[in-house]
Structure 1
């Protein structure tokens, strides 16, 4: 059964891998090219954050086009525009133009991801959704790492590298266009508001925002930092690929610990370790390259765990309600964070130099650690046996359709508004 489902979705996963590799490659290439052209870290941050803004807007508005013209046609349109935008970049190196193009690519990316994820989630059942989500995670992380690795194949100022991006994006259309499977229906996602999420778990809400800020900041400005401390283009590509894979590697042990112990203290400890990694990068990063790798693996690897950990905390405190709506709300909070992170990081880098990347992200981790510790001492903890399970979910470039594959959504009975398997007593709705 599971094997047949995976085979039937092979085309979708291939499309996903090609598209993620292309967009990851483009982000790093643009960051390096702006640095080469002499733009400040602030300009780089503002230009690259436009992708996040476009992605958030696309998550809201691309659904209308998909519903109106169909999945395959809308996917073709989004892929064509994204491909054209990638090829326009090297024609005119202008920060304003590139900001517009980044927003356009972000909008198209939201539509493309929404189509792919809705196709995958439509085939998920209670028996297969957890496995499909795991496969999605692996495909995403390896494709993102591959995109970073491809940066080393050419210089950022060469037209060829933009052609590679365009090729990857347009090829992502082929598997979907040739599939014989029937397209699923796409509907606009409903989500809980920020106030409702705050009442469920203040730590969860702010963890989602902080996770978006830190991850987007590093993806946009990590290449700038690496370039300014003297790394070559191949070294930068390996460095960024390592950071992506560190996130995949660390999610499993951190998630297991959060299921076995008080989740808030696991989050506080992991955030403190990440802040320590940032301090290491500030103090010794420009002296020894191996220190940069260790600091980055701790910082970015644990930053990628913030969203799923925060989502787990919110689900822990839901006595009744739709967990998919809560997940979609936190994803929106994460998206808001992605629109803020690169600008804050760029300002800090302008102020104190390349180490400002670690200073800004480490400072966010330190503040979040303090918040979680304070909540831990001032509110009643949820017993470990009543905690739900951790589920690793990629938040970067993720549309709400992916949340339907979260196994924690299985027991929800939408008709009665309760969780079918819920046998525990009601707990404090803001204990985290």
Structure 2
């Protein structure tokens, strides 16, 4: 185990630099667009192109990687992504930035696919769980670091964009210097919507709702914080707090989901998150209400995807769990394309608090749907449930799903 982890040190180092740069750029652009006077709807429409580009990228970049190799393709994607990041401060235009966000999302998908396939290619049945745990720690810690770095510069100055470029370029170094052989890129099958719905209707709808909520928050929370009077430093600390909140809730909520009917837990969490959204909507009045509401609303939303994934796996008596996971990840990706647009429309109509009103509405609908399913369909016994595995869905590629320990029996 130790030897495998050591051999993957370069991959995790590249991952940390890449995630930090990506999270820094996303929050930075949201703040800059707000400062430039873009409406919430315009901000949402610009920033959603990152999710669109990423989802498209996860379906297409493997062709490039198989053709030229993993290290060369990684270098190409990093170079294009770095250049796109540096173009942003040259000319502030909504259409140009939307195109750049889509390009960065597409390239980021290629970078993540390379890193995750390299990590999963080294995994064995005995090490999957440990490697997935290391991946999660690296992912959330780097994302929190990226949010913190937003406060190091002004959103309208070149230095902070240069920092994004530096992080992305440096992610090339560990991977380029590794002596490990690149693993063979496999193909990942996906179950369709109908099959996922048959396995777990609540899991399918919950995965979609999780994508909507998480993406809306990441894209629009910096805009919200800026509009209620937060400076750049305060926005950075607030976003870092939100990332750490969802990281800290992963294990206890996952453990709880193994001990009770997951649908009842889903309904309770959705209702609690809706209350958190209502509390956060009063952030203009009290910072405490904002932080407590954010901990509840966003912290829970970040835990919904792995719970939904557990539901999907519970419904599978046989078959490929990786295919089921990849299918749900695609549904989650569709949700990430909807969240920023829908959330920004409500912010446009209701003001800054519209973001948390939107999140609260999503959670209310999820709670009502889950309660309806509980009432009219049989309960799945807790003793027959499989184990919960924490899988960070945000900007994750299907290759990561091969680290899921639940795939051991299938492999």
Normalised to the residue count of structure 1, the TM-score between the two structures is 0.94
Unaligned segments of structure 2, at least 5 residues: none
Q: Partner of 1:234: helix, strand, or coil?
A: helix
1:101 aligns with 2:94: no
Matches within 5 A, 1:273-292: 273-282=272-281, 284-292=282-290
Supply the distance in 2 between the matched residues of 1:140 and 1:271 (Cα, whole angstroms). Answer: 25
- In structure 1, the residue matched to 2:138 is 139
The alignment of Structure 1 onto Structure 2 pairs a total of residues equal to: 411
CA contact (8 A) 1:57 1:107 kept: yes
- In structure 2, the residue matched to 1:328 is 326
Deviations 1:305-362 (A, max 9, x none): 1110000001001111111000000000000000000000000000100001001111
Supply the distance in 2 between the matched residues of 1:37 and 1:231 (Cα, whole angstroms). Answer: 15
Matches within 5 A, 1:75-86: 75-86=74-85
Residue range with higher mean Cα deviation, 131-140 or 263-272: 263-272
CA contact (8 A) 1:63 1:187 kept: no
Report the alpha carbon displacement of residue 109 of structure 1 after superposing the two structures with TM: 0.5
CA contact (8 A) 1:270 1:302 kept: yes
RMSD, aligned α-carbons = 0.7
Report the alpha carbon displacement of residue 232 of structure 1 after superposing the two structures with TM: 1.0
Deviations 1:159-199 (A, max 9, x none): 10000000000100110000000001113321000111011
- In structure 2, the residue matched to 1:225 is 224
1:37 aligns with 2:36: yes
Task: Choose which of 335, 344, 351 in structure 2 pairs with 1:337.
Answer: 335
Q: Partner of 1:389: helix, strand, or coil?
A: coil
Q: Partner of 2:126: helix, strand, or coil?
A: coil
Q: Partner of 1:391: helix, strand, or coil?
A: coil
- In structure 2, the residue matched to 1:121 is 120
Deviations 1:393-414 (A, max 9, x none): 010110000000000111115x
- In structure 2, the residue matched to 1:17 is 16
Supply the distance in 1 between the matched residues of 2:189 and 2:228 (Cα, whole angstroms). Answer: 44
Deviations 1:182-225 (A, max 9, x none): 00111332100011101111100011111111000000000000
Deviations 1:122-152 (A, max 9, x none): 1111111000000000000000000000000
Supply the distance in 2 between the matched residues of 1:105 and 1:186 (Cα, whole angstroms). Answer: 22
Unaligned segments of structure 1, at least 5 residues: 414-432
Report the alpha carbon displacement of residue 371 of structure 1 after superposing the two structures with TM: 0.8
Matches within 5 A, 1:62-211: 62-211=61-210
Supply the distance in 1 between the matched residues of 2:2 and 2:187 (Cα, whole angstroms). Answer: 30
1:381 aligns with 2:379: yes
Deviations 1:65-110 (A, max 9, x none): 0000000000000000000000000001111000000000000000
- In structure 2, the residue matched to 1:3 is 2
Deviations 1:364-386 (A, max 9, x none): 01100111111111111111110
Q: Which runs of structure 1 show a deviation greater than 6 angstroms over 4 or more consecutive aligned residues?
A: none
CA contact (8 A) 1:67 1:187 kept: no
Matches within 5 A, 1:256-271: 256-271=255-270
Q: Partner of 1:340: helix, strand, or coil?
A: helix
Normalised to the residue count of structure 2, the TM-score between the two structures is 0.99
Report the alpha carbon displacement of residue 280 of structure 1 after superposing the two structures with TM: 1.1
- In structure 2, the residue matched to 1:402 is 400
